[in-house]
Structure formats: C-alpha cells, structure tokens
Amino acid sequence: AQSVTQLDSHVSVSEGTPVLLRCNYSSSYSPSLFWYVQHPNKGLQLLLKYTSAATLVKGINGFEAEFKKSETSFHLTKPSAHMSDAAEYFCVVSPYNFNKFYFGSGTKLNVKP
Amino acid sequence: GAVVSQHPSWVICKSGTSVKIECRSLDFQATTMFWYRQFPKQSLMLMATSNEGSKATYEQGVEKDKFLINHASLTLSTLTVTSAHPEDSSFYICSALRGNEVNQPQHFGDGTRLSIL
C-alpha cells in the first residue's frame, strides 16, 4: 500500500532561517518522490523529484530534499527562508513504474519578517 | 519546459448550467492527464484519469455522468461539469504526464475556480 504523511500541517519560520518540511512515505515498490509548491489560487509547481538516482536532490529556489530509505523519509529543506517561500507544500509519492500518485495532506509554510 | 494551460481560470455561473474546463499541454504530448478537485485548505482529490483515445477512469464516488471527461487529442483534455449546482463549487486542477514516460512528475495547470450561484 502507498501513503504519504506530512507530519506538520503548519510550519512558521522567520525570514533568513532554515526551513524543514517533513514527509514520510509508505510504498510497496521503490518509489519516485516529488515536492510541489502551491501559491494561493494557483496550480502546483514542481520543486524537485527523486527517481532512484542520487539520494540528495537539489531543486529550484534553493530547496533540496534527501531520500532516506531506511527512514522512509523525504524531507524538504532550505537553508534560508525568503518571504516569497510562504505557500502550501505537497509531498507526492508514485510507485516505481506506475503512473499513480499519492498526495500528502500539505504543509502550509508561513515566513515571518 | 513542460507547460500546461488550463482555461478558464475563473468562472461564475448560474445553477443548472454546464461548464467546460480545458486542459492543454502546450509544448509536449500528453497521453495521460489527471483531473483533481481541491477543497479549501485541503489536499488534492483525484477525480479521474484521462487517457487519450479511451474512456476516463473515475475514482470511487465521482459521478461520471456529472463530470464528463474527453481526451480527444494528445494535447487536450476537457472536463465538463453538467447541470452544475452550488455544491460543485470548488477549485479544479488538471495535470499531464509527458508522453509515455513513467517515474516522471506531473505538470499542473493553474487551476479553475468554479463558483455556482
């Protein structure tokens, strides 16, 4: 069975401080994993993806994530938050070789000045 | 890039009318497209998977006669909300997969805000 758990529904950080958004997954097959960002009244924009290559994945806007199979985690990080990072973030898992996607419940990131 | 255009972005209409939403892949061919519905402060809920040239596959609980999906070409899928009522008001988002690739991300449109009066 496949599932995704985003451990925090809300995260609040100050501008310039690190960001950590947590994601744990459950997958019967070697998964592909993705992080998306959604700004209000917008679609989802791909931040980064893991598809069985390097376990540390770098994405756009300074974000990166590390695939840890032993911990079944794919946490999203950024060294220094910017006001424009305030948005909703979704972790998505897809079983290997299957075009089926499972969404986490989302984490709303608030960035304080 | 992989650009998906969704139109209209916002529609307001009277109860009982039908509304068509278009999802186009602008710079790639999309064998598979997905339609999602998103309620306020919630994650995306998959409504159906649209495959070019065949009938869409609907998720459990989604009325196929209410939400008509047509994927007649490799760059266009449409969702028609028939006889819309206020409870159909929501944010609808489409996404597309490039070609026949697997293990690759979905590319999303910007969504359509549907308000039924």
Q: Does B40 touch chain A (CB under 8 A)?
A: no
Whether pLDDT at A67 is above 90: yes
Give the amino acid at A59: G
pLDDT band at A45 (very low <50, low <70, confident <90, very high): very high
- Tell me the C-alpha to C-alpha distance, in Å, between residue B45 and each of A76, B35, B37, B42, B58: 22, 9, 5, 9, 12
Distance CA B31, CA B24 (A): 12
Structure confidence at residue A100 (pLDDT): 84
Structure confidence at residue B41 (pLDDT): 86
| Closest residue by Cα to residue B19 from B77, B88, B74 | B88
B53: which residues sit within 8 A by CB, 6+ positions away?
A: B71, B72
Whether pLDDT at B12 is above 90: yes
Whether pLDDT at B52 is above 90: no
What residue in B sits closest to A38 (Cα-Cα)? B110
Q: Do B103 and A96 touch (CB under 8 A)?
A: yes
Calculate how close chain A gets to B30, using CA atoms only, in Å: 13
What average pLDDT does the structure give for chain A? 93
Cβ contacts of B1 on chain A, cutoff 8 Å: none
Q: Do A42 and B111 touch (CB under 8 A)?
A: yes
pLDDT band at A2 (very low <50, low <70, confident <90, very high): confident
Q: What would the two tokens of residue A68 be? A: 């840890």
Cβ contacts of A46 on chain B, cutoff 8 Å: 105, 107
**Please, are residues B37 and B111 in contact by the beta-carbon 8 Å criterion?**
no
- Tell me the C-alpha to C-alpha distance, in Å, between residue B34 and each of B23, B83, B117: 10, 22, 26
Q: Does A49 touch chain B (CB under 8 A)?
A: yes
CB pairs under 8 A between A and B: 52
Calculate how close chain A gets to B83, using CA atoms only, in Å: 24
Distance CA A43, CA A34 (A): 15
Cα dihedral across residues A22, B60, B74, B84: positive or negative: negative
Q: Does A107 touch chain B (CB under 8 A)?
A: no
Substitution target from A60, A74, A99 for chain B, most B beta carbons within 10 A: A99
Substitution target from A3, A101, A103, A110 for chain B, most B beta carbons within 10 A: A101
